[in-house]
Amino acid sequence: MLNERKKLGLRESTAILIGGMIGSAIFSLSGVTIVGAGPASILSWIIAAVILFFYGLQTAELATIYPKSGGIFVFPEKALGKNEKQGRLWGWISSWAYLFGCIGGACFSAYYVGYYLAQGFPALAGVSTLISLIAVVICGLFIMLNISATGKVNTALTVLLSATLLVFVIVAFTSGGWDVKNFTPFFGQGTDGGAGFLTEIPIAMLAYGAIVAVAFMVDEIKDAQKTIPKAMTIAMIITVVLYVLSIVATMGLVTGTALTESNMEYAPMFAAAFLKLMAVPWVSTLIVISAVLALITTMLVVMLLAARTFQASAGGGLLPKGLAKEGKNGTPINATILTIIIVGILTAIPSFTNVVVNLGALCNVIVVAIISVTIIAARKKNPIVEGRFKAPGGNVVSIIVLAVLVACYIPSIIQGGWMLWLCTAVYYAIGMIIYFIATRRPAKS
């Protein structure tokens, strides 16, 4: 149990959420949504934020019902199992999916650290993979510090990142190159047609996945009942404002067609600065620095969550007990080392990046489905206690969130092709082998 002074307060918790959400998506995937939906992609990002916000509040309620870190294992284990063995199975299915969601997000972010630095500094193009691997190791070392120190590092990076994004927005709007005509027509300008903004919602959703981060670290949060929902609300508002401003600033400078023709759909803000803000050349460098900061803050959050999930699964007897061991600072040292190794290996194979991202998206669907069912079951098992946080809308909102999320994700998952399904089958086969080996012996409390 962490000393209360070492726990995360509202400021650090909010910064972790903002840092986790403002990452690879806005600097890379926003270009994909602009190409697909044109100006209407703004709606994609706003709708995705609303959906994920309610999903986040559900995990906040679960965190107050079951106040223990590693929630992605703990929540289903406690709520869905009729007995200990069944609970562990649900916890493992959820954790195994969530692990790859985190690992895939870390790999994707690490890859783009090298990509952006190579774009901004061509001399680094030959060592971009090495740079990505160094970023993985540095983030892992920060995680091995106590959670308070990690929170402070993330807070500093997030403040700096937000400031650089605002500078880009101000320069874009005042440069003289920003053109409102780029927003006409608002619908139908993208390659996906008039309803393209709906098609792009799953892409935008990936940006907000870290909204659940502090709910899965509940016993490391001060006054979790109040801090977690407040942090989620503040972080989501700030993130959406920064996202919308950045996307509007970018689209006023370059269209989806221009991004495609310049082969920069995965670097839209850099393309806007490079192609339209040549009179202020330092902005391109600023975008590179902002992107790297954003990617690193995302890596810090998702790698931390992966390590905590390894730790919680080990604590439940499903992984070697050494992974549950904490260092003097209260951090899961061995679980973090394992996270660094796995993320590093996958990052070293850039050609596998698309499969990693698609498998991560599919794993996210599984997690969302399980958590949405878990909150309904948890409410049945645990009567409402006065003062305990309760997500608005009750079970009706939980069912709607489940239906909308799955409906939005499924089309993009189906398009992943046979390789995605093969990788999913292999990944879960490995997970089930681990589970059945582990459950042959009694679980250790």
pLDDT band at 205 (very low <50, low <70, confident <90, very high): confident
Percent of the chain with pLDDT over 90: 23
CB-CB contact of 213 with 154 (8 Å): no
What pLDDT, on a 0 to 100 scale, did the predictor assign at position 444? 47
**pLDDT over 50 at 426, yes or no:** yes
Q: What is the DSSP letter of 305?
A: H
Other beta carbons within 10 angstroms of residue 190's beta carbon come to 25
**What is the reported pLDDT for 3?**
53
pLDDT grade, residue 4 (50/70/90)?
Answer: low
Select the more confidently predicted residue: 48 or 358.
48
**Has residue 327 got a pLDDT over 90?**
no
Band of residue 295 on the pLDDT scale cut at 50, 70, 90: confident
As a whole number, mean pLDDT of residues 181-192 equals: 91
Q: Provide the CA 140 distance to its chain's centre, in angstroms.
A: 17
Count of alpha carbons within 13 angstroms of residue 252, beta-carbon side: 20
What is the CB neighbour count within 10 angstroms for residue 290? 26
- Give the pLDDT of residue 200: 85
HSE, CB side, 13 Å, CA atoms: give it for residue 376. Answer: 13
What domains can be seen in the chain, in order of their start residue? 11-438 (1.20.1740.10)
Q: What is the pLDDT of residue 69?
A: 60
Per-residue pLDDT at 144:
83
pLDDT class of 6 with cuts at 50, 70, 90: low
**360-382 per-position pLDDT tens digit:** 777 877 888 888 889 999 998 88
Average pLDDT over residues 65-84: 79
pLDDT at 2 over 80: no
In this predicted structure, what is the pLDDT of residue 328? 72
What average pLDDT does range 411-423 have in this prediction?
70
* Higher pLDDT pick, 294 / 42: 42
Confidence tier at 134 by pLDDT (50, 70, 90): very high
pLDDT for 167 equals 92
Q: What confidence score (pLDDT) does residue 149 get? A: 60
Give me the chain's average pLDDT, please.
84
Cβ atoms < 10 Å from Cβ of 289? 16
DSSP string over 375-407: HHHHHHHS---TTS---TTHHHHHHHHHHHHHH
Q: What pLDDT, on the 0 to 100 scale, is given for residue 1?
A: 46
Q: What tens digit of pLDDT does each residue of 9-59 get?
A: 888 888 888 877 887 778 878 998 999 999 999 999 999 899 889 889 988
Q: Give the list of residues 6+ apart from residue 332 with CB closer than 8 angstroms, or none.
A: 307, 308, 310, 311, 323, 324, 325, 326
The predicted-structure confidence for 95-121, as pLDDT tens digits, reads as follows 898 888 888 888 888 988 888 888 778
More confident residue, 444 or 59: 59
pLDDT of residue 26: 83
Round to whole Å and give the CA distance between 110 and 295: 7
| Phi and psi, residue 165, nearest 5° | -65, -40
pLDDT surpassing 90 at residue 312: no
Phi, psi (degrees; rounded to nearest 5) at 267: -145, 60
pLDDT at 252: 94
Q: Would you state the structure tokens that stand for residue 337, as one six-digit string?
A: 């080392």
The pLDDT, as a whole number, for residue 131 is 93
Q: How far apart are CA 80 and CA 95, in angstroms?
A: 14
Q: Residue 312 contacts by C-beta under 8 Å, 6 or more apart in sequence?
A: 69, 70, 71, 72, 73, 74, 95, 324
Q: Strand, helix or coil at 264?
A: coil
For 217-242, write each residue's pLDDT tens digit: 777 788 888 899 999 999 999 999 99
Residue 432 pLDDT grade (very low, low, confident, very high; cuts 50, 70, 90): very high
* 317: DSSP letter: T
